[in-house]
A and B are shown apart, each in its own frame.
Chain A
Amino acid sequence: MEALKKELKERIINVLNLEDITVDDIQDTDALFGDGLGLDSIDALELIVLLDKEYGIKLADPKQGKEIFQSIETMAQYIAQNRTKL
């Protein structure tokens, strides 16, 4: 799970162009939206694409994202349970 969290942080930094942020700056329980990383609605769509492209997870209901994308911790748990790509 720790390797997945690190990989997830690297992919999020890369895909969302978070140039001034490093893996060490993101805590597992930090909020990804709002006061945490400050991601926006377009970033949320990018995260949905990332789940599909890298882990083979298609979110049927985008509203699910609100719970899944709370933090790296919640994303990693969801990916570990639902991934179809290794």
Chain B
Amino acid sequence: MYSVSKYIHIENGIIFENGKQIVDSNTTDFSEFIKQVYRNFEHIYPKFYKMDDLCKLAYIASELVLKDETEKDIALLFSNNEGSLDTDNKHQQSIQNSNAYFPSPAVFVYTLPNIAIGEVSIRHQLKSESAFFIASEYQTDYMHKYTEHLLRTNKAKKVLCGWVHCLNGAYKACFYLVETNGILEHNNQNIKQITK
């Protein structure tokens, strides 16, 4: 039997930690909001500003869950329903006009959703199992089974799971950490509640 030890919900300028509101920003604009949250962290990580919006959101959600974490054997299972489409569109716009064809390398490197996993892994020095799933909605039962399989077969000591959505200014992140001990039983009902 495994448990959820911590969970985070980020949406519309508001952040909940374990169901309790910890941030209520005066802006819902993603760019302003995410910078406000980042600047409140003690940890300085200049590369944050270079990330695309999907990675910034995954970075902040992971930071909130893992800020006091010492375990490094943490698998990462992220998911959303649009991959890196937000950045794919930006890249496409930069190559639309053959007379002004200046694709940005810094944009292009984020045209894969699993780069978000890479950014979190680099930040927290994780060399663990990871996967980024794209589905129309959070696959609760599949994620539950996969997470418990990783833990039961000692592929990871803990698993950070999350839904991270960022498209056309709309954003939402629901992240939760699964391990042996915690505050909620790791079951489908609780996962649905956390990711709703």
Contacts and interface: CB of A to CB of B under 8 A. Distances in A.
Indicate the size class of the contact surface on chain A: 10 to 19
B50 interface: yes
B112 to A, nearest CB: 14
A28 interface: no
B104 A49 contact: yes
A20 B46 contact: yes
A20 B102 CA distance: 26
A50 to B, nearest CB: 9
B106 A46 contact: yes
Contacts of A42: 50, 105-106, 109
B106 A16 contact: yes
Contacts of A15: 106
Contacts of B142: none
Contacts of B102: 49, 52-53
Main secondary structure of the interface of A (DSSP, over half): helix
A45 B105 CA distance: 6
Contacts of A18: 46, 49
Interface string B89-124: 000000000000011111001000000000000000
A55 B172 CA distance: 40
Contacts of B46: 18, 20, 38
Residue among B35, B106, B109 with the highest chain A CB neighbour number at 10 A: B106
Which 7 residue pairs spanning A and B have beta carbons closest together?
A45-B105, A19-B49, A17-B49, A53-B102, A17-B50, A46-B106, A42-B105
10 contacts: A17-B106, A19-B35, A20-B49, A38-B46, A43-B106, A46-B105, A49-B102, A49-B103, A52-B102, A53-B102
